Amino acid sequence: MKVNVIENDRLLIRPVVNDDKESFMQIQIENSDLAAAYKDEQFRNYFWETTLNGDDDIYMMIFMKEDGIHVGNCSFQKLNSDSIEIGMDIDKRFQNQGIGTATLILLAEYLRENAPGKRHTIRTKSNNIPCQRMIVKAGGVKVDEGKTSFDSTMEGLIHSLEAHGLPEEAEKSKTVLDSAKGICAFIYEFPS
């Protein structure tokens, strides 16, 4: 699936381009459990390269149509599967203004029209009540629970550190992973 522009009277969403790196990364730093990783130049370069050139994901930026202000990032992930997952981060300065809900409705409508026959899902942490309310308001229905992307990333990092003979670093990462115990991801689906 190729995306050029997704828009309504309020928002314009377009795929990232190389010049977007700093603005895109700033929102990732503000909203991610892995904020420290996004501050590391090597990780930033690796993540940006996969963001620009991923074959199974499309990363996009969200702008207010009226004034062109960048208010968030979003994505369609797992495009080659039968379930496309929506990802979204709204700049903290623009949260609680209906932008997230409007964006999610627009993305779900786009997928209904352009990826029929596939499931359209989004996940959020079990402790993120405001996001859960927003998803339901946008039409999402809770269908499952699973690991958070943070858990999956940390488990991969721990495995890699152990495989490379770095047990002390692996133990530090296990401590970080253990600090998030009890938090899972709630998975919501948007009816087609």
Cα–Cα distance, 150 to 173 (Å, whole number): 12
Q: What is the CATH number of domain 6-189?
A: 3.40.630.30
Residue ranges of the domains in the chain? 6-189
DSSP 125-157: ETT-HHHHHHHHHTT-EEEEEE--HHHHHHHHH
**pLDDT in the model for residue 72:** 97
The residues, any chain, with a CB within 8 Å of residue 165's CB and separated by 6 or more, are: none
Tell me if residue 21 falls in helix, strand or coil: helix
For 166-178, write each residue's pLDDT tens digit.
888 777 766 765 6
pLDDT category at 160 given cuts 50, 70, 90 is confident
**pLDDT in the model for residue 125:** 84
